[in-house]
């Protein structure tokens, strides 16, 4: 039974709790088949049983650009990429790729002393801080026309940051007090397993108004089946959220970059960071990695989508917005070290150094590496100005392309299907989002050899990356563009109208994505088997003297 606590503390410490149970899908629903299991998964198990059994494949490296991966997880440790040209722990860059002891990948959010960035600001906060230093106190009439446009952006960013801080301040204060009350109750009871009877005793003895209100909430929630630890975790989640909003994400005075110690203004700087690919909070990246590649042939945990891959962890995303410089460098690193598929489950609303990211995307395109990107969780329609990164180049590529042909954008589907096929939180666009894939109640790996559910296009993207990895492993002559085209052409069509995310309007699925359907591995493998491959590049081949700037063509 799954419980979700909705805790609301008003100004006078009154509150209420609503606990409800909901039906749940099978834990492995994203791997099940719409035709044979009546669940809108991608058909992984059916594919291995009926189409790929006994077939040979080549090992594929999938780079996970994320918060970090727990490479010691019981279901991941055997599928982690190992840099065979590096000697672990000797403090020497044995393979001379510019990164010392990069055994499982690299961390662009740390320094050589082993310190790591955890929290970071949002991009809007960074832009506000930069423009505030330039325009605060200036008269608009004294500005040039180009400066007036920039000043208008300053005013826009200022409004966002100040309103967010104004909203977060009282909520952070409230939830701080509530969290303290919960911890105080725990201390008073003085044991690990706290019962409803224990809470009632605290209620009877307390004279504190806030603690009395909190015990009322606990009694009601625990009476409905929740445990004390369930509720404590929910309260801590709310506390952590507003702590992040106020003290980090929208705090223009917070500067995480001092930890890294790079020359942040130099977007061409490549060699900084450390080899701690797990980082301080690897939940997100570990969950993503498990969806793609959790060991399929053991008897523990879960089964990832792909059966012959190695996960390369490239730590790029803090608890806040990723930075363009780090994203670009993470792509370069992944390409140069052999990745055939790169998963990017992150995004933000502005990209001040988009050209640096574009340059790295073009590098991946030149080297035939597929980029899979999550569309975002705002329940909005994506365009080229409200969601980054995306596949449109600021300047045309060296091939004269305006768009990255090696890029696939992924929205999230719901396990219930039908009118609710599109997840209510998923971003969408009939022109910019390519496909949808399972993204709700996805059960996958979590740090410490644990397993948890998570929702998001962040989960739909690695499902799709896993499908792409299967195609690249079993059909290695397919180019990145061919793999993308096959995935889009082989979707399970959603023919009925669905609720448009963020609204109650029923629309054709064609209004939400270019390919009006859900990713289907079974159909994709069938189509791949009928497609003549055009691939001419060896992943990760590079001229050692050029520090990975050129790829080498192979026959």
- Mind telling me the catalytic residues? 243, 284, 458
Got the DSSP string for 128-185?
HHHHHHHHTT--GGGS-HHHHHHHHHHHHHHHHHHHHHHHHHHHHHHHHHHHHHHHHH
Pick from 276, 284, 231, 275: nearest CA to 447: 284
Contact 356, 328 (CB under 8 A): yes
Q: Residue 100 and residue 83: Cα distance in Å, rounded?
A: 11
Burial of 143 (0-12, 13-18, 19+ CB in 10 A): middle
Pick from 265, 259, 399, 277: nearest CA to 334: 277
Q: Residue 49 and residue 30: Cα distance in Å, rounded?
A: 16
Pick from 432, 456, 434: nearest CA to 444: 456
Q: Which residue has the tokens 């499982």?
A: 104
Dihedral of the CA atoms 125, 130, 132, 133 (nearest 10)? 150
What are the backbone angles phi and psi of residue 298, rounded to the nearest 5°?
-105, 180
Contact 324, 300 (CB under 8 A): no
Helix (H) or strand (E) holding 335: helix 324-336
Number of residues that this document lists for the chain: 555
| Count of alpha carbons within 13 angstroms of residue 285, beta-carbon side | 31
End-to-end CA distance of the chain: 56
Structure tokens at 228: 């004390």
Structure tokens at 58: 């080549």
Within 10 angstroms of residue 211's Cβ, the number of other Cβ atoms is 22
Q: Residue 131 and residue 179: Cα distance in Å, rounded?
A: 36
- Residue 444's contacts (CB-CB under 8 Å, 6 or more residues apart) are 286, 287, 288, 290, 291, 294, 302, 451, 452, 454, 459
Contact 469, 305 (CB under 8 A): yes
Indicate left, alpha or beta for 378 from its phi (over 0: left) and psi (-120 to 50: alpha). alpha
Structure tokens at 114: 């082993």
């Amino acid at each position: 039974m799954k419980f979700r606590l909705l805790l609301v503390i008003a100004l006078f410490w009154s509150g209420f709790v609503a606990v409800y149970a909901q039906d749940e899908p099978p834990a492995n629903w994203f791997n099940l088949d719409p035709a044979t299991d009546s669940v809108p998964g991608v058909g992984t198990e059916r594919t291995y049983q009926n189409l790929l059994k006994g077939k040979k494949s080549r090992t594929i490296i999938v780079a996970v650009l994320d918060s970090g991966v727990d490479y010691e997880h019981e279901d991941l440790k055997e599928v982690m990429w190992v840099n065979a040209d590096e000697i672990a722990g000797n403090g020497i860059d044995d393979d001379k790729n510019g990164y010392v002891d990069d055994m499982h990948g690299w961390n662009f959010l740390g320094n050589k002393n082993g310190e790591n960035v955890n929290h970071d600001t949002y991009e809007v906060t960074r832009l506000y801080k930069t423009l505030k230093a330039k325009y605060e106190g200036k008269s608009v009439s004294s500005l040039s026309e180009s400066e007036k446009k920039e000043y208008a952006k300053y005013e826009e960013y200022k409004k966002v940051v100040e309103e967010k801080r104004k909203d977060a301040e009282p909520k952070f204060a409230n939830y701080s007090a509530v969290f303290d009350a919960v911890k105080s109750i725990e201390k008073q009871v003085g044991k690990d397993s706290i019962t409803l009877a224990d809470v009632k005793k605290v209620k009877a003895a307390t004279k504190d108004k806030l603690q009395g209100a909190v015990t009322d909430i606990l009694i009601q929630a625990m009476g409905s089946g929740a445990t004390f630890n369930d509720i404590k975790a929910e309260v801590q989640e709310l506390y952590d959220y507003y702590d992040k909003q106020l003290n980090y994400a929208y705090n223009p005075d917070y500067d995480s970059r001092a930890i890294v110690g790079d020359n942040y203004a130099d977007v061409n700087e490549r060699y900084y960071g450390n080899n701690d690919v797990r980082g301080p909070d690897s939940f997100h990246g570990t969950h993503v990695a498990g969806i793609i590649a959790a060991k399929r042939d053991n008897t523990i945990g879960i089964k990832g989508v792909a059966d012959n891959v190695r996960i390369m962890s490239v730590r790029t995303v803090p608890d806040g917005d990723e930075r363009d410089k780090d994203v670009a460098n993470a792509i370069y690193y992944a390409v140069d070290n052999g990745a055939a598929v790169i998963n990017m489950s992150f995004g933000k609303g502005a990209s001040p150094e988009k050209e640096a990211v574009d340059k790295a995307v073009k590098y991946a395109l030149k080297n035939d590496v597929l980029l899979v990107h999550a569309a975002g969780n705002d329940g909005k329609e994506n365009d080229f100005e409200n969601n980054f990164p995306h596949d449109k180049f600021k300047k045309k590529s060296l091939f004269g392309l305006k768009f990255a042909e090696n890029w696939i954008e992924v929205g999230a589907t719901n396990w219930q299907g039908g009118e609710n096929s599109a997840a209510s939180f998923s971003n969408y666009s009939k022109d910019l989002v390519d496909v949808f894939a399972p993204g709700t109640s996805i059960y996958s790996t979590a740090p410490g050899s644990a397993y948890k559910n998570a929702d998001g296009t962040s989960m739909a993207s690695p499902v799709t990356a896993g499908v792409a990895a299967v195609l690249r492993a079993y059909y290695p002559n397919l180019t990145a563009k061919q793999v993308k085209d096959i995935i889009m052409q082989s979707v399970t069509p959603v023919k009925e109208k669905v609720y448009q995310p963020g609204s109650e309007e029923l629309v054709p699925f064609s209004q939400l994505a270019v390919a009006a359907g859900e990713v289907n591995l079974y159909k994709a493998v069938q189509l791949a088997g009928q497609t003549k491959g055009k691939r001419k590049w060896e992943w990760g081949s590079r001229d050692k003297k050029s520090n990975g700037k050129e790829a080498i063509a192979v026959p």
